[in-house]
Amino acid sequence: MFQTPRGTFDILPDEQKYWQKIKKTFEKVVSSFGFEKIEIPIFEYKLIYEKGVGTDTEIVEKQMYLVKRVGEVNDNPEEQLVLRPEGTAGITRAYIQHGMHTWPQPVKLYYIGPMFRYERPQKGRFREHHQFGVEIFGNTSPYTDAFLIGVVNTFYKELSLSNLTFEVNSLGCPNCRNKMKKALVEYYKPYQNIVCASCQNRILKNPLRLLDCKEEKCQPIIAEAPALIDFLCAECKEHFKTTLEYLEDLEIPYDFNPRLVRGLDYYTKTIFEVIPPDKSSALSGGGRYDNLIELFGGQPTSAIGFAGGIERTISEIRKQGIRIPSLPKPEIFLIHLGDLAVRKSLSLLFELHKVGFKVAIALDKEGLKSQLKAADKAKTPYALILGQKEAREDTIIVRNMLDGSQETVDIKKLSDYLHKRIGGTVKIKKSSS
């Protein structure tokens, strides 16, 4: 039997209410703050992630899926395609490609969609996951950092999620970061044969990620490591300080985490993650990436953004016991009996639908019993029964499925009748037999 590939899953009808709630809430919140939607391809050139996310990051080194045409032999690295592991690099590519620097600045974009990373599947970690995110291009001020975090906070509040913590830190500008890296390499020298194999590699390739190691034996070393904030230049320090002051004004519960580094190389200055109360994996993360557009060949333009995982948000909604109402279901079940009724019921179905009713129908069942059973299963509050007699007399039986009571209604008056019982503006055309 065929199965979903490891680390991926189907989203079945019963789950859809969570997905729709999150997507709709996100779109409502961000569009009300002036963000506009962008959709970019699911696959892009591998180079944009190598350049943007960084060749020494786990995502680029180990987690990207190559996309190849069946039988393709061209191995030109410039032409290699991968499934997108994240959204920021692709949207930055789009900003440059479409000359968005000529649009009124800042350009505020949002996106929702699947991302792909090769992971060892476990709780909250999948090979296909879904992100919602925003990117703001063309604004350097800490005001924007606080605005973005404020938007993220509003989104989680709108979902009724509580007790979330915003962990924040600053990675400074490239100058600050070079100093941070040097200090970390120096600090780790005496420990290079003691730390885990990954950290031995990080000392050489990506020293900032040393602070992100989860191995137990590396924890005491991390605890004593130099704090990144001590290496910030005056300008970066001021930027971070002002951002935090704005967050205090907004009463956003942040925790300064001097060890926060994030797993993507493009970040500068403010970075943050939203952590759930049980401190399991981050619900979302983001930060500034003031040099990425220039790195991609565009004019120097600062940027900041964030992305959250839909799967982890659903899991948190469940953990916090937040009730998500079911999606609207059909309110009427249309039952037909006999040839004339079959013909009439089909046009009635579309007329009812046209005026705004949600109508279900048993497509392949014929007898009254089996259609009533289907109506019962569909849990519609009303069933309309169109038999031979009713079809001939231009009437219809309206059955209340809760108490079993039923009434014969003149088809011309069905509109008003249903309107009174179900609501909505309903006008049914006169039957044309």
Determine the interface stretch with ligand HAM among 93-101, 305-313, 321-329, 337-345 (rule: CB under 6 A).
305-313
Segment contacting ligand HAM by CB under 6 A, of 85-93, 193-201, 217-225, 362-370: 85-93
8 A C-beta contact, residue 323 and residue 123: no
Query: Distance between CA 101 and CA 59 in Å, rounded?
Result: 29
Task: Establish if 286 lies at the interface with ligand HAM (CB under 6 A).
Answer: yes
Size of interface with ligand HAM, in residues (CB under 6 A)? 27
Choice between 107 and 361, CB closer to ligand HAM:
107
For position 285 contacting ligand HAM by CB under 6 A, the verdict is: yes
Is 306 a binding residue for ligand HAM by CB under 6 A? The answer is yes
Which SS3 state, helix, strand or coil, does residue 178 take? Answer: helix
The answer for 341, left when phi > 0, alpha when psi is -120 to 50, beta otherwise, is alpha
Question: Is 86 one of the binding residues for ligand HAM (CB under 6 A)?
Answer: yes
Q: Do 229 and 240 contact (CB within 8 A), yes or no?
A: yes
Among 114, 49, 40, which residue's Cα sits nearest to residue 77?
Answer: 49
Which of 17, 23, 101, 125 is close enough to bind ligand HAM by CB under 6 A?
125
One-character DSSP codes across 254-297? EEE-TT---S-TT-EEEEEEEE-TT--S-SEEEEE-TTHHHHTT
CA 306 to chain centre: 11
Among 18, 126, 132, 191, binds ligand HAM (CB under 6 A): 126
- Backbone φ, ψ for residue 192 (5° rounding): -60, -25
Question: Smallest gap, in angstroms, from Cβ of residue 274 to ligand HAM?
Answer: 7
Q: Whole-number minimum distance, CB 57 to ligand HAM, in Å?
A: 10
Distance CA 389, CA 396 (A): 9
Stretch of 64-72, 211-219, 238-246, 277-285 lying at the interface with ligand HAM (CB under 6 A): 277-285
- Tokens describing residue 140: 């350097």
Beta strands across the sheet bearing 382-386: 359-361, 332-336, 382-386, 395-400, 406-410
Nearer to ligand HAM, 282 or 348 (CB): 282
Q: For residues 270 and 415, which CB has a smaller minimum distance to ligand HAM in the complex?
A: 270
Scanning 153-161, 276-284, 317-325, 385-393 for contacts with ligand HAM by CB under 6 A, the matching segment is 276-284
Measured from the CB atom, the residue of 164 and 391 that comes closer to ligand HAM is 164
Smallest gap from Cβ 59 to ligand HAM, in A, equals 7
The CA distance from 134 to 153, in Å, is 13
Instruction: List CB contacts of 360: < 8 A, sequence separation 6 or more.
Output: 330, 332, 333, 334, 375, 378, 380
- Pick the binder of ligand HAM from 57, 92, 131, 315 (CB under 6 A): 131
Q: Tokens for 9?
A: 């899953």
Instruction: Select 106 or 305, whichever has its Cβ closest to ligand HAM.
Output: 305
Q: How far is the CB of 223 from ligand HAM (least distance, A)?
A: 23
Q: Segment 244-273, which members bind ligand HAM (CB under 6 A)?
A: 263-264
Residue from 283, 314, 385, 428 in contact with ligand HAM (CB under 6 A): 283
Is residue 308 within the footprint of ligand HAM (CB under 6 A)?
A: yes
Site string for ligand HAM, 45-84 (x = CB under 6 A): ----------------------------------------
Calpha distance 279→388 (Å, rounded): 64
| Residue 88 in the binding site for ligand HAM (CB under 6 A) | yes
Residue 305 contacts ligand HAM per CB under 6 A: yes
Pick one of 90, 106, 133, 387: the residue that binds ligand HAM (CB under 6 A). Answer: 133
- Residue 12 per-residue DSSP state: -
Chain centre distance of CA 376: 35
In Å, the largest CA–CA distance within the chain is: 95
Residue with tokens 């605890």: 223
Per the CB < 8 A criterion, the answer to whether 336 and 376 are in contact is: no
Of 76 and 122, nearer to ligand HAM (C-beta) is 122
Q: Given the rule CB under 6 A, which residues bind ligand HAM? A: 86-88, 117, 119, 124-126, 129, 131, 133, 135, 263-264, 282-287, 305-309, 311-312
